[in-house]
Structure 1
Amino acid sequence: MCRRLAADLHAAGFRSDRLRELWGSAADAAIGRGDALPARRAFARDDHPLATIARLFGIGDPVPAEAVAAAFPATGVAGLEALGAVARDGGMLHPQLLIRPQDWVDDTGAGQWWIASDLDEAALHGALPEDHVLGVGGASLTLAGLQLPVPTGRVLDLGTGCGIQALRARLFADAVVATDVSARALAITRLNALLNGVDGIDVRLGDMFAPVDGELFDRVVSNPPFVITPRTDEMPAYEYRDGGRIGDGVVASFVETVGRVLAPGGVAQLLGNWETKDGVDGLNRVRQWVAASGIPLDAWVIERERLDPVAYAQLWIRDAGTLPGSPEYDRMLGAWLDDFEARGVSEIGFGYVLLRRATGSARLARYERVLQPVAEAGLGAALARSLDAWDRVSGMDDAAVAASVLLTAPDVTEARHHLPGAEAPSVIELHQGGGFARVLEADPALAALVGACDGDLAVGVLIDAIAQLLDADAAALRADLVPRVRELLFIGMLRFAD
């Protein structure tokens, strides 16, 4: 039946670009903000199959049964009912799911999936039920873009939700195991795999790592239910975001135990929140979780955002459709603030965690804040290049680094800032166009070295020439620049020429 549904969606042209043409760019942006009215107005009198499908599954509006029958000739109304996608009420069919096209693009190519999920607050005209299965949101797209686009063996998608991470992982993996505490989420993941013709995804019910006890994976990905929620009886416990632990306990538990399911050299990637608590910075608390792992781990943790308790609580109260000014909103906000105050929480961080089961003596231990805007689509490839660079350069002594021939990455540019009338620049900056869009301040020697790395001469030869030009001590300049070259290799501003 899923093949027939996919055939009908394909025949109607149910794609992202066609929908944008149908309801316009402004309505498309409004849909992303949870407001369906502009899109609804755009095709109010359109009876084309694409418009029918968009109303039914793109927005979540009821549609006359005869229009649905015309739009789904292969599946039929009975087929949609059998799939649990619609429910009949007289002559109208009410959607029980949203199904939306979702584009993906990375360094390896581009494609599109159809992703089913539960009806959102716009379709429900109110707050979400606690067992809601979320569709593809901003966090889902972020983690999908962070996944390493590198062939691998077995992948675990922990907390799969609608299955978007499992689909993404299957592009590069031999097999995927997708787990969740929600049986409905697993059913929707299975539906999405069938709808998109993707095999090799094994769904399992259970909490955290229990469904895969004793198994090893080459990669683990997780967009876990990391939202910090007060543990009170009155507070809704949304399965898609609330893992049932106190504070940031879900992320702490993941970090401390994921090593047990990682094969040697295996990589885990997740999104998470962490608290600055009792004066201990959030990133330092994550460092403590890594140290508590019984399995030695490499760690690269990137904090992308920091919120105070009020802003954090407001974000997640609105996320589920509870409106400011209502008694329920005020009650929930008070509960959140009481919880943070009682536990000594002053700030909440959000970011990316990359862990790897260590195989050598050198340990990657990088905890940083990257708060500038970043184009997330290509970050997975950037992370993979950084890991490769780390593996190579961490095994090299300074003499080997100096003997290396390097290239300046093609996305690196230089900016020089001069005071009016000054001959020499007061500030030199190196700008990264891709990756994490870093901006590094450079002195004349480092700028000259980066500019000279064209794959011709070794780093040491270039440093000696720069020392002569600047009338500097060559040995001292090497001691200064070689560690900075290691950093530029890791962050991707420099690359090995071979």
Structure 2
Amino acid sequence: MLPEPDPALCRALADDLHDAGFFSEALRSAWGETADNAIARGLRSPAMRALGDRADALAVLGRLLVLGMPQPIAAVDQALPTLGAVGLERLGLCRIDGDVVPQAIIRPQSFTDDRGSGQWWIASDLDEAALGGPLPEDHVLGVGGASLTLAGLQLPTPAGRALDLGAGCGIQSLRARRDVAEVVATDISDRALRFTRLNALLNGMTGIRTLRGSLFEPVRGERFDRVVSNPPFVITPRVAGVPAYEYRDGGMQGDDLVASVIRGVGTHLEPGGVAQMLGNWESRGGAVGLDRVREWVECSDVPLDSWVIERESLDPLAYAELWVRDGGTVPGTPQHAALIDAWLTDFDERGVTGIGFGYVLLRRPVSGGPSLARYERIGQSLGGQDALGAHLARALAAHDRVAALDDDALAAAVLIVAPDITEARHHLPGVEDPSVIELHQGGGFARVVAADPGLAALVGACDGDLAVGVLIDAIATLLEVDGRELRRALLPEVRELVFTGFLAFA
């Protein structure tokens, strides 16, 4: 059992890590970008070769705390002069058995938001490479791609209280605490919550309180301005022999856990409060996954604004292979084949044809009913992952403003084109007029919008000088079309472009 973290020992460890230069960029420079990418795939040998016989503090701590390799006691004492190997053992992060044998990993994690760059140290359980085999079911996961995605999606606007549902190692709590006065972190795993408390202390973060329990049980009757959740959403067969990893398996069938969170979160939001989460959803029985998510939102006890984005969809076999391998079971073994078969049987029994992964943003209206119901697929690569939270915040504010305007008021508005928007025109050989006009977004979700000549002309003319209606009338004259018809055609597209960040109010 991981001991309760001692604040003084955590401060000593943080001081030593800082003095050793134990940061992301320094480690990446020490072993190179190729080795750094290999570590993310569970391969340690490129980094080990790059470090060679280096005995400086950064190399010793890199081997011990990132790669999970035993190190000599004297070398660790020298690398951690304030804490020492004994102090690291008292924190439960190693055991001393001839050498210092790691019992957890600590990885520096850099981040960037609208206020600049920063760095966290995140402790979690030993990974597959360090363990040399499958993960235990009570494994506490470190910072992966999904958790980084959700951290980047969090709204960077001030709020009072936040709930981190299924906190794990606590990365979402740390991110939320940058903008929220108080964070309540919940998890079914006491071990996970100890890592959350350890990581808060290690990074000098106060105002994070932990509660043990399933889903919303620990906060029954409470409401929050923000709810953030990277829940254990992985769809797992409920049969003997299939590991039930606490960090990814919520113990329910299919996508029932994600449905339960979506249906229940509204009652825990203050008016104007926002919930953001990741999730999987099944397409089954002829029902498309996004349509099923819409049904869950509509079944909420509290009416909610909704914005759901499906980033990718996998077929059942690809999904099974992904998560069997994630647990450390190697392809080509009898165990791997048996687990794949269990997953496929489970999907067949429910008629599952695909599994979507994506982002869910829900908001409790301050008053009245929902005004936003958006369910979309965005498959292209993202433009500026760290800035997505700010992009979402701007989109919500833009929606609220444009939703309050009727068409006459929108026509009277003065807009400007966003600075990251470019235009691409495609011509057939020898033809003067373009056959395709596209508007490209450099940031946000890197959207590409097909535009006809009228819309392209309007966007190009939005320089903060003339009102939208005046521009449309001038374009209608230029194109020799009816102005009223062009206005009816373009104003809905203007609303969309304001929401998605192509246009903004001057």
TM-score over 0.5 (shorter chain) = yes
Contact kept? 2:309, 2:377, Cα under 8 Å: yes
Residues in 1 aligned to 2:154 and 2:374: alpha-carbon distance in whole angstroms: 18
| Offset of residue 107 of structure 1 | 2.3
| Offset of residue 96 of structure 1 | 0.7
Residues in 2 aligned to 1:118 and 1:390: alpha-carbon distance in whole angstroms: 42
Equivalent positions of 1:409-428 (< 5 A) are 409-428=418-437
Contact kept? 2:413, 2:467, Cα under 8 Å: yes
Structure 2 residue aligned with 1:261: 268
Contact kept? 1:5, 1:195, Cα under 8 Å: yes
Contact kept? 1:159, 1:222, Cα under 8 Å: yes
Residues in 2 aligned to 1:8 and 1:81: alpha-carbon distance in whole angstroms: 15
Structure 2 residue aligned with 1:496: 505
| Offset of residue 32 of structure 1 | 1.2
Structure 2 residue aligned with 1:487: 496
Q: Which one of the candidate residues 477, 480, 485 is aligned to 1:471?
A: 480
Q: Which contiguous aligned blocks of 4+ residues in structure 1 show a shift greater than 6 angstroms?
A: none
Q: Tell me which amino acid in the other structure corresponds to 2:133.
A: G
Contact kept? 2:303, 2:370, Cα under 8 Å: no
Residues in 1 aligned to 2:302 and 2:482: alpha-carbon distance in whole angstroms: 45
**CA deviation digits over 1:358-386, x for unaligned, max 9?**
23345200000101111322111111111
Residues in 2 aligned to 1:222 and 1:362: alpha-carbon distance in whole angstroms: 22
Structure 2 residue aligned with 1:193: 200
SS at match of 2:266: helix
Matched, 1:365 2:361: no
CA gap 1:289/1:55 in 2 versus in 1, 3 angstroms: same
Equivalent positions of 1:89-128 (< 5 A) are 89=97, 91-128=98-135
Contact kept? 1:85, 1:97, Cα under 8 Å: yes
Matched, 1:3 2:15: no
Contact kept? 1:108, 1:149, Cα under 8 Å: no
Matched, 1:147 2:154: yes
Q: Which one of the candidate residues 218, 225, 235 is aligned to 2:232?
A: 225
Matched, 1:156 2:166: no
Residues in 1 aligned to 2:144 and 2:27: alpha-carbon distance in whole angstroms: 18
How many residue pairs match? The answer is 496
SS at match of 1:113: strand
Structure 1 residue aligned with 2:291: 284
**CA deviation digits over 1:340-363, x for unaligned, max 9?**
001111100000000001233452
Residues in 2 aligned to 1:295 and 1:87: alpha-carbon distance in whole angstroms: 50
Bigger shift: residues 302-311 or 359-368: 359-368
Structure 2 residue aligned with 1:247: 254
Residues in 1 aligned to 2:361 and 2:270: alpha-carbon distance in whole angstroms: 15
| Offset of residue 95 of structure 1 | 0.5
| Offset of residue 42 of structure 1 | 1.6
Residues in 2 aligned to 1:52 and 1:490: alpha-carbon distance in whole angstroms: 50
Structure 1 residue aligned with 2:4: none
SS at match of 2:43: coil
Structure 2 residue aligned with 1:38: 46
**CA deviation digits over 1:408-435, x for unaligned, max 9?**
0101100001111111111111111111
Structure 1 residue aligned with 2:446: 437
Q: Tell me which amino acid in the other structure corresponds to 1:99.
A: I
Equivalent positions of 1:268-417 (< 5 A) are 268-358=275-365, 359-375=367-383, 376-417=385-426
Give TM-score scaled by structure 1 length.
Answer: 0.99
Contact kept? 1:362, 1:394, Cα under 8 Å: no
Q: Which one of the candidate residues 173, 176, 188 is aligned to 1:181?
A: 188
**CA deviation digits over 1:198-221, x for unaligned, max 9?**
000001100000011111100000
Residues in 1 aligned to 2:15 and 2:405: alpha-carbon distance in whole angstroms: 55
Bigger shift: residues 137-146 or 14-23: 14-23
Structure 2 residue aligned with 1:447: 456
Give TM-score scaled by structure 2 length.
Answer: 0.97
**CA deviation digits over 1:58-108, x for unaligned, max 9?**
11001111111111110022211110011011x211011100100001222
Structure 2 residue aligned with 1:457: 466
Matched, 1:87 2:83: no
Structure 2 residue aligned with 1:78: 86
Q: Tell me which amino acid in the other structure corresponds to 1:200.
A: G
In the alignment, structure 2 segments of 5+ residues that lack a partner are: 1-8
Residues in 2 aligned to 1:99 and 1:148: alpha-carbon distance in whole angstroms: 26
Q: Tell me which amino acid in the other structure corresponds to 2:233.
A: F
- The alignment-based identity, stated in percent, is 65
**CA deviation digits over 1:371-408, x for unaligned, max 9?**
11113221111111110011111111000100000000
Residues in 1 aligned to 2:208 and 2:386: alpha-carbon distance in whole angstroms: 24
SS at match of 1:269: strand
In the alignment, structure 1 segments of 5+ residues that lack a partner are: none
